[in-house]
């Protein structure tokens, strides 16, 4: 392949940006629903993954907890398969351009647009004693996160699509007022992962909160904890292991097993057709232990050497800062700030 073809091939690669808040404890649901596939994204796209620690302080959080959560999530991103040599993985607060661009974009965001964001309304109701300006301004910082890196694609949950639309509005407004500066991104809801529910309430989402108890399998749970939780998993009073709307507990366990083994629900049903509920839950638990074992082992190795982990953070921050500064310098110049 000649140099021209290499250049054309490089130009075709899309840039993907994703930011994850270091709040709560990532679960099996987070892994099977999304994180399992993040490592492979870098094969076809240029990928950036940020631990969104600046976003984490819109709600009250203790400094010690924020530090631990940030290190844990950063190490987990690498443990699930993201390659820090190939991909850009970093802590948001390590790249000051995020905060700088956020302030600039505030001046290209209409108050009415920001006030229509439903997440601000929802979170304000949940935290009536801490309705701070940062919570209101959260979507503008999110826009800065995305636009700094000229991202083409932003994988988000359905609840975040409104924020990506605001980001697009801000980008278009800036581009139209000056000259094209920002790539206008597209928000995409990933469809590749399995939707996993709570083991204790299979009609509810598997939550990241430590208070979820036996309903949530956390990625870093010990094998004993995993087996105990599966043993207590809700099923039903029937004996047939078959997925259906009337059997949400069984369906959830079949979904977990199928996702862990890369098979269909129907294949999982056939595998367990003559199995008792007790044996069924045991085998799904054992499969989960083996699915999470290499992740936990890699995570523990990363966390055992804090200096090495910090060096990986620095490396990621340097890569991210280089890309971010290129965009930010253009923005400062176009707005009219004196550059020396």
User: Which residues are the active-site residues?
Assistant: 123, 205, 208
CB contact set of 315 (below 8 Å; sequence gap of 6+): 84
Distances in Å between the Cα of 331 and the Cα atoms of 304, 328, 337 are: 41, 5, 9
CB contact set of 235 (below 8 Å; sequence gap of 6+): 247, 249, 250, 253, 277, 281
Gyration radius of the chain's alpha carbons: 22
Q: How far is residue 314 CA from its own chain's centroid?
A: 20
* CA torsion through residues 286, 292, 296, 297, sign: positive
CB contact set of 264 (below 8 Å; sequence gap of 6+): 258
Tokens in use for 92?
């948001």
252 burial level (CB within 10 Å; 0-12, 13-18, 19+): buried
Distances in Å between the Cα of 91 and the Cα atoms of 13, 54, 66, 99, 321 are: 24, 9, 12, 13, 11
């Amino acid at each position: 392949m000649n140099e021209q073809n290499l250049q054309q091939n490089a130009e075709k690669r899309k840039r993907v940006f994703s930011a994850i808040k270091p709040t709560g404890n990532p679960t099996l649901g987070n892994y099977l629903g999304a994180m399992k596939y993040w490592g492979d994204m870098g094969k076809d796209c240029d990928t950036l993954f940020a631990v969104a620690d600046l976003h984490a302080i819109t709600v009250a959080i203790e400094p010690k907890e924020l530090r631990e959560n940030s290190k844990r999530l950063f190490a987990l991103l690498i443990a699930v398969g993201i390659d820090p040599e190939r991909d850009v993985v970093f802590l948001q607060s390590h790249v000051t351009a995020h905060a700088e661009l956020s302030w600039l974009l505030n001046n290209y965001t209409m108050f009415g647009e920001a006030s229509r964001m439903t997440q601000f309304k929802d979170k304000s109701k949940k935290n009536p004693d801490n309705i701070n300006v940062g919570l209101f301004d959260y979507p503008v910082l999110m826009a800065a996160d995305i636009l700094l890196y000229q991202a083409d694609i932003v994988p988000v949950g359905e609840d975040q699509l409104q924020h990506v639309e605001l980001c697009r509005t801000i980008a278009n407004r800036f581009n139209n007022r000056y000259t094209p500066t920002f790539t206008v991104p597209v928000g995409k809801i990933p469809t590749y992962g399995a939707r996993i529910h709570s083991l204790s309430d299979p009609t509810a989402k598997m939550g990241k909160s430590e208070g979820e108890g036996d309903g949530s399998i956390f990625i870093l749970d010990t094998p004993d904890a995993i087996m105990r939780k599966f043993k207590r998993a809700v099923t039903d009073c029937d004996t047939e292991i078959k997925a259906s709307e009337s059997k949400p507990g069984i369906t959830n366990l079949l979904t977990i097993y199928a996702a862990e083994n890369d098979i269909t629900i129907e294949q999982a049903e056939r595998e367990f057709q003559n199995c008792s509920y007790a044996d069924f839950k045991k085998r799904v638990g054992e499969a989960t232990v083996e699915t999470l074992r290499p992740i936990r082992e890699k995570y523990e190795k990363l966390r055992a050497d804090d200096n090495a982990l910090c060096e990986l953070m620095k490396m990621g921050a340097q890569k991210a800062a280089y890309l971010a500064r290129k965009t930010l310098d253009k923005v400062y110049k176009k707005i009219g700030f004196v550059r020396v």
